[in-house]
Amino acid sequence: MTPSLSRRRLGATAAAGAAAMFMPARAFAANERPVLGIIGAGTRASQLLPSLMKLASVAAVADVSLPRAEKMAKAANADLWLQDYRRLLDRKDIDAVVVATPLHWHALCCIHAAQAGKDIYCEKPLAYTIREGRRVAEAVRKHGRVFQTGLQQRSGRAEHDGCRLVREGVLGSVTRVLAYNYPSPMEPRFPAQSLPDRLDWDRWCGPAEPIPFHASIWDNQSNPAWVSLRPFSGGAMTDWGAHGLDMAQWGIGMDASGPEEVWVEGEPFDPQTSTPERPGGRQNGPTSPKVMMKYGNGVVLEFKGGPQFGATFTGPQGSITVQRNRFSTTPASLVPDDDKVVEEDKSDSTFAHCKNWIDCIRSRSETVAGVEIGHRSTSVAHLANIARWTSGLTGRVGEKLRWDATAERFTNSGEANGFLDREYRRGYELPAAV
């Protein structure tokens, strides 16, 4: 058996260490709770609600399904439920919002919220495209908002200590990182069904071209659901990968950057013949060709053999695997004696993550998973999908796509650059100025 998890206190984190300049919020009296609005009342918002209600008050809930908005509003003791989130943003008594919509709506909701002067908790992954993520980051900075990305493993003690040990050099210089072989999104193939009562399906489709309603797409609990479908998501690559690749970025100290080269190995991407890694699973999708990345410091990231919600780091002294609620080392002697290692962390990282956001709303300081961290970690997932899709266009594999992480463009592939943004339906475009 190998040891896992340190009991050392979290202490300062990479994100919290930097000074942040945020526009001042209203002054809170002693014991006064911030007032929240919730945008998107589905599964994830329901999971967050118990933690949020311990820390803040909820005044309004918006969801394109009015019955779902009403149900959550009553559970949260909110006085307003509605279908159009923009009306929620108009309320002056709301200090901050939680964005828990499907991925294809994240950018618009976040940009509009920042423009309305609201602080923001946005579920992962941050945005549907790399360009969207950058525009969200620009809006958050321009309007001085406190932003937390829903990468709750950043608030987990085990994940923190495992990644810290990697950065502190207990492995020596890291040479290789293994990620999970995340599936890319599928194309939707569903028959039309009758719409549920008071669901605005056209608005649910939002920036994407509308497709016929089917309950499996909407509810996100079916096999597959919207999270696996290309018009609405980057598949498990962005959904699960937002967590696992965030750990990879954190461990090798690349929170503000990304890889320099991306390529694929195997056969070119073919969505018609690629098989799901988990047949019948909620997050189906093609898993080939294999994705590889290389960072400027020489670290190679390979999408094979890593844990689903973490990463395995390898260096000359051994390896460290960081995964949800624990880490393990090989050999066991890699962990310093003063770390007092135990098996796992059973604390509630979701509550800790929400509390960090609420605390930062009061102090106007940076959160543990600020907008740049959320954007950069999600971008790694997007780059993996883009490498697969580009191979499908060109028919080539092994060709290294050179990524300029500062300009956020490929320097040698017009085909790859074509996937940095999406076509927007009229009326749902990103604002010309954030």
- Banded model confidence at residue 19, pLDDT cuts 50, 70, 90: very low
Q: What's the mean pLDDT when you consider all of the chain?
A: 90
Give the pLDDT confidence score for residue 29 in this predicted structure.
78
Q: Please work out, in degrees rounded to the nearest 5, the angle formed at the alpha carbon of residue 115 by the alpha carbons of 114 and 120.
A: 15
**pLDDT for res 154:** 97
Q: What is the pLDDT of residue 158?
A: 93
Q: How many CB atoms lie within 10 A of CB 191?
A: 6
Least confident piece of the model among 14-23, 28-37, 121-130, 410-419:
14-23
* 340 confidence band (pLDDT: 50, 70, 90): low
DSSP-derived 3-state class of residue 94: coil
> For residue range 243-256, what is the model confidence (pLDDT) as tens digits?
999 999 999 999 99
> How far is 337 from 353, CA to CA, in rounded Å?
28
CA 209 vs CA 104, 108, 126, 206: distances in Å: 11, 16, 21, 8
Q: Which residues contact 167 (CB under 8 A, 6 or more apart)?
A: 251, 252, 253
Confidence band of 139 (pLDDT split at 50, 70, 90): very high
Averaged pLDDT for residues 148-171:
95
Element (H, E) at 89: helix 85-89
Q: Residue 272: what are its φ and ψ, rounded to 5°?
A: -80, -25
Identify residue 205 by its one-letter amino acid code. Answer: C
Per-residue confidence band for 13, with pLDDT thresholds at 50, 70 and 90: very low
Which residue from 294, 303, 305, 298 is spatially nearest to 262, judged by alpha carbons?
A: 294
Instruction: Check residue 337 and give its pLDDT.
Output: 65
Q: What is the pLDDT of residue 283?
A: 63
The single-letter code of the amino acid at 262 is V
Query: Do strands 57-62 and 96-99 pair parallel, antiparallel, or not at all (unpaired)?
Result: unpaired
Residue that has been written with the tokens 């907008």 in this structure = 371
Q: Are 382 and 259 in contact (CB under 8 A)?
A: no
**Once rounded to an integer, what is the mean pLDDT over residues 123-152?**
98
Which is nearest to 42 in space by CA: 290, 256, 220, 222?
220
Gap between the Cα atoms of 197 and 251, Å rounded = 47
pLDDT band at 339 (very low <50, low <70, confident <90, very high): low
pLDDT band at 16 (very low <50, low <70, confident <90, very high): very low
4 within 8 A of 341, measured Cβ to Cβ: yes
Predicted confidence band of residue 282 (pLDDT cuts 50, 70, 90) = low
Angle among Cα 232, 234, 239 to the nearest 5 degrees reads: 105
pLDDT of res. 9: 30
Tell me the per-residue pLDDT of 40-64, one tens digit each, with 9 for 90 and over: 999 999 999 999 999 999 999 999 9
Range from 99-108, 179-188, 214-223, 262-271 that averages highest in pLDDT:
99-108
Q: Is it the case that residue 236 has pLDDT exceeding 90? A: yes
In the DSSP assignment, the letter for residue 419 is T
| pLDDT, mean of residues 377-392 | 98
